[in-house]
A and B are shown apart, each in its own frame.
Chain A
Amino acid sequence: MTRLFANANYDFIGVRRYAYGVTAAILLPGLLFLMLMGLNYSIEFTGGTLVQIRSQKTVDVAQLRSGLDQQGIHGAEIQGFGAPNEYVIRARVAKPGTDANDTQATAAAVSHALDTVLGQGTYSVLRTEAVGPKVGGELRQKAFLAIFLSFFAVLAYLAYRFEWRFGLAAVIATAHDILATIAFIGVMRLEVSLTIVAAVLSMVGYSLNDTIIIFDRVREDLKKYKKDPFERVLNRAINETLPRSVLTHGTTLATLIALAVFGGEVIRPFALVMFFGVFTGTFSSIYIASPVLMAIEQRWPGALARGHMGTTPTPPPPSPAGRKPQPVGR
């Protein structure tokens, strides 16, 4: 039997203050950067036109830009996309003098510029996206609403299944994850698209998953070891679930690496965000959710935690393998 982290006995909760330092060191510069630079929203959210082309010859980007300028489309972004002769052109402003919510004029102007600069028939359009600012605004609203509401749904469910203290701790940890991930998206200059919103929500689910598995063990251990201080119960639960965490994170990261490397240009940002989410989710389950739960229980002890709130200094917990099997079951 190969066992990773068997009999692990790390004092996770004891070093929580250092962990807070790490969180602050990551979050504060990240959020500062976010405030200064803002997020890089995709066409879907800002409105605008995106055209992905495959050209037969190399595209002179400067020439293409001046061609777009001539059509009244200023400040367009032109980028290589994946393959060497594939480009994405993003025009966020509408052609002047046209109704911005009627996307056709701008789209026509972009294709006209392409025709004149590259020559008709020397390129093929792989993908077009044209979104009016009104639709984009609605979508942005919906995305925030989705993240926000899912928050409360999860809080309600956890309050029902565990109790509100656990739910609150889990949601605070999730809030941390979302902030950290958004900061990551900002610093990496990833484009915030619907796919990224999907990645953030999946990351939320994943991180909650992790927190719940630790909390489930905490709930069980609180009943099992009636005399232990709360801190030791937490530490034990985290250590006991460590092999599972390592394995699951391993398989998830394996699929994410496969997606990032082979999944293509559209999926790569999704994989990157999830990849980051696995780390921040694991970190927050251990160092945010658990200490916050402890703080809440100290302040407003629940029925389960009562009796675990002794003020005695905690000796390191005994190793799980060394202890005698305890009667289990509820």
Chain B
Amino acid sequence: MTIRTRILIIVALVALSVFYLVPRQITIRERDPVTGVMTDRTERKVPLKLGLDLQGGMHLALELDQSKQVSADPKRDLDLALTVLRKRIDEFGVTEPLIQKVGDSRIVVELAGITEPARAKGIVQRSAFLEFRITDETKALDKAIPAMDRTLRSMGVRGPDTAQAKPSAVEQLLGGDTAKKAATDSVKKTAADTGKKAAAAKTKGRPDSAAKQDTTPARDTTPIIGGVLNGLIQPSGGAPGEYAVPETAFPRVDSLINLPQVARQLPRGVALRWASQPTSVGVESVRFLYALDDRPIITGSSLEDAAAQIDPLTNGPVVTFTLDRAGGRRFGEETGKHVGDYMAIVLDGRVQGRPPVIQSRIGRNGQITLTGRGLQEAQDLALTLKAGALPIPLKIVEERQVGASLGSDSIHDGIVAGLVGTGLVILIMIGYYRLSGVLAVIALAVYLLFTLGGLSIVEATLTLPGLAGIVLSIGLTVDNNVLIFERMREELIHGKTVRLAMDEGFRHAMNAIVDSNVCMVLTALFLFQFGTGPVKGFAITLIMGIVASMITSIFVTRTLFLIWLARRPAMTTLSI
């Protein structure tokens, strides 16, 4: 190979690296998440994509959360969830998000440069399962509470003694007469109920339990009034099936009514759902509990479109939605049947706002009022509704989040360390090898260019460990040159001419260079295979660095020597 060909090849490689390292303008066509208008946006394409640890961002690993709902076909559900997440994040408007399935049971989401991590998490995690249900009008819960209390009592759960001594604040505030009447009604009814049931138990046999049932009311004259739930759950006096629970008692009541033995006391066809938020009634904060028809009249799967708006009347945010044709027809029929009833809007198992009364048959369009919340939340809800519901809720099993400021600090530190390290290496090389050292330093510069260019070509992501890998490789890569130079020195000492020493030096160093570099690449490949995120970045920079270092030491340094010798053919001593 002539020197000219060698120079041409090097120039071509350098040009290629430089081309890939120069920021370019590219046009991205993108849909505005709010207005839905397609816009062209010109973006500066930075050559090396920065990892989440350098530019800030969020990494989430998600799995199906089967604690409340067991998936019949986890594989299918995960694929479905993946599609839904793609749509949602697309609408959310993150540049270059990464959403992929890892293994059989996990989805990894990486959102770079995100500034509101909590909001993004909400969008990813929200099931967005929307249903419309008619509130229960049969007073099923009122009837079931005594039985529930009795079950709880037999399980050893007792209400506080003061529960009845002080008339419930809820009752006072909400109730007026209706509530009180309802409460006493229920007491009367349940008292009768207890008697009946106790008698039934007695006649049915099972002497043990019968005896217990019998003795309990005897010891406590007002067993029902002292009941845990009876003291805490009061009809609100609003829509039928709406009950009020003091906000402070909400977690306790929630855990009690979800006990399987207690939940069994509720008649079939009725389901209990909490309100999404506490409501303040006077000075008291209460949480509404709803008894609803078990069967939703329609679910979010019939949704065609959703958008967030500000309701001109209340000035509060609303989400308007449009149902598809079939859904609209069914919704119309059902609401037509239930005129005068109350309809609860249930999102992810929580009732949104207080159920409105159905004035007349409703068609394809409707709206969800979000009381006391911001427009942004309404937008997020519209977005998730439109993208569809997750088949099974997702739980976050891994989360990494790096603030942008920490990322830029890391870059700064990495660059300083790189500059200092390079400076030291240059000093050592030139100090020890003189002019040949200068050639090695030129080769080092070419090496850096090749490595960065190569990383840019394979679209690798630069991470913090990757940055450390580049700095480290500056120290490592001169090893190849050191091997060659030392070998040349030996040959010179053995009395060879400059030209011969150079050829022999390169030839003999070759074996050691190839073997040691291949071993390095092998370990780096395993690191790449098994590592995650940042460590993968380290492995890829290491591999790219080794390849670039071999090219530069074997080819570029040699060419530099050849040029040097060609310019000084009469040289008898080499500055090495």
Q: Shortest distance in angstroms between B323's beta carbon and chain A's nearest beta carbon?
A: 32
Residues of A within 8 A of B534 (CB): 194-195
Contact B530 A266 (CB under 8 A): no
Contact B395 A247 (CB under 8 A): no
- Given A255-B471, A256-B472, A325-B495, also A130-B399 (CB < 8 A): yes
Contact B399 A263 (CB under 8 A): no
Residues of A within 8 A of B518 (CB): 157, 161
Q: Pick from B399, B417, B472: contact of A128, CB below 8 A.
A: B399
Interface residues of B in 534-576 (CB under 8 A from A): 534-535, 538-539, 542, 576
Q: Shortest distance in angstroms between A153's beta carbon and chain B's nearest beta carbon?
A: 5
Contact A150 B421 (CB under 8 A): no
Contact A132 B398 (CB under 8 A): yes
Interface residues of B in 387-414 (CB under 8 A from A): 395-403, 405-406, 409-410, 413-414
Residues of B within 8 A of A134 (CB): 397
Interface presence of B527 (CB below 8 A): yes
Residues of B within 8 A of A259 (CB): 417, 421, 468, 471-472
Contact A263 B468 (CB under 8 A): yes
- Given A251-B428, A251-B478, also A127-B401 (CB < 8 A): yes
Contact B516 A212 (CB under 8 A): yes
Contact A107 B482 (CB under 8 A): no
Q: Bound complex: CA of A14 vs CA of B479, how far in Å? A: 28
Q: Shortest distance in angstroms between B100's beta carbon and chain A's nearest beta carbon?
A: 16
Contact A250 B399 (CB under 8 A): no
Q: Bound complex: CA of A161 vs CA of B405, how far in Å? A: 48
Interface presence of B512 (CB below 8 A): yes
Residues of B within 8 A of A126 (CB): 402-403, 405-406
Interface presence of B7 (CB below 8 A): no
Chain A, interface size category, equals: 35 or more
Interface presence of A297 (CB below 8 A): no
Interface presence of B425 (CB below 8 A): yes
Interface presence of B166 (CB below 8 A): no
The secondary structure that dominates the B interface is: helix
Residues of A within 8 A of B409 (CB): 264
Contact B428 A254 (CB under 8 A): yes
Q: Pick from B417, B479, B494, B576: contact of A261, CB below 8 A.
A: B417
Q: Bound complex: CA of A261 vs CA of B421, how far in Å? A: 10
Give the interface segment out of A23-31, A67-75, A199-207: A199-207
Interface presence of B522 (CB below 8 A): yes
Interface residues of A in 261-303 (CB under 8 A from B): 261-264, 266-267, 270-271, 274
Contact B520 A209 (CB under 8 A): yes
Contact A202 B542 (CB under 8 A): yes
Contact B519 A209 (CB under 8 A): yes
Interface presence of A192 (CB below 8 A): no
A-B pair number, CB within 8 angstroms: 245
Interface presence of A129 (CB below 8 A): yes
Q: Pick from A103, A194, A208: contact of B532, CB below 8 A.
A: A194
Give the interface segment out of A32-40, A55-63, A137-145, A309-317: A137-145
Interface presence of B476 (CB below 8 A): yes
Contact B523 A254 (CB under 8 A): no
Interface presence of B524 (CB below 8 A): yes
Contact A262 B420 (CB under 8 A): yes
Contact A263 B535 (CB under 8 A): no
- Given A3-B489, A197-B535, A255-B472, also A205-B424 (CB < 8 A): no
Contact B475 A253 (CB under 8 A): yes
The secondary structure that dominates the A interface is: helix
Interface presence of B19 (CB below 8 A): no
Q: Bound complex: CA of A135 vs CA of B410, how far in Å? A: 26
Contact B475 A271 (CB under 8 A): no
Contact B519 A208 (CB under 8 A): yes
Residue in chain B with minimal CB distance to A156: B522
- Given A198-B531, A204-B523, A208-B519, also A266-B410 (CB < 8 A): yes
- Given A102-B397, A255-B474, A270-B468, also A262-B413 (CB < 8 A): yes
Q: Bound complex: CA of A256 vs CA of B67, how far in Å? A: 48
Contact A195 B414 (CB under 8 A): no
Residues of B within 8 A of A181 (CB): none
Residues of A within 8 A of B65 (CB): 102
Interface presence of B493 (CB below 8 A): yes
Q: Shortest distance in angstroms between A155's beta carbon and chain B's nearest beta carbon?
A: 10
Contact A267 B396 (CB under 8 A): no
Q: Bound complex: CA of A113 vs CA of B465, how far in Å? A: 31
Residues of B within 8 A of A255 (CB): 421-422, 424-425, 471-472, 474-475
Q: Bound complex: CA of A262 vs CA of B419, how far in Å? A: 10
Q: Shortest distance in angstroms between A62's beta carbon and chain B's nearest beta carbon?
A: 26
Contact B532 A153 (CB under 8 A): no
Interface presence of A235 (CB below 8 A): no
Contact B542 A328 (CB under 8 A): no
**Binary interface encoding of chain B residues 13-35 relative to chain A, with 1 for a CB under 8 A from any of its CBs, else 0:** 00000000000000000000000
Interface presence of A101 (CB below 8 A): yes
Q: Pick from A52, A132, A153, A257: contact of B526, CB below 8 A.
A: A153
Q: Bound complex: CA of A247 vs CA of B530, how far in Å? A: 33
Contact A258 B417 (CB under 8 A): yes
Q: Bound complex: CA of A282 vs CA of B512, how far in Å? A: 16
Residues of B within 8 A of A103 (CB): 396-399
Interface presence of B515 (CB below 8 A): yes
**Binary interface encoding of chain B residues 437-453 relative to chain A, with 1 for a CB under 8 A from any of its CBs, else 0:** 00000000000000000
- Given A126-B405, A195-B535, A264-B414, also A213-B516 (CB < 8 A): yes
Residues of A within 8 A of B542 (CB): 202, 205
Kindly list the 10 A-B residue pairs having the minimum CB-CB distance in the complex, ordered from nearest.
Answer: A255-B475, A258-B421, A264-B413, A255-B421, A254-B424, A146-B530, A325-B494, A252-B475, A150-B526, A262-B417
Interface residues of chain A, those whose CB is within 8 Å of chain B, are 1-4, 52, 99, 101-104, 107, 124-132, 134-135, 139, 142-143, 145-147, 149-150, 153-154, 157-158, 161-162, 194-195, 197-198, 201-202, 204-206, 208-209, 212-213, 216-217, 220, 240-241, 243-244, 247-248, 250-259, 261-264, 266-267, 270-271, 274, 320-321, 325, 328
**What are 5 inter-chain pairs, A to B, with CB distance below 8 A?**
A99-B67, A143-B530, A157-B522, A206-B476, A255-B425
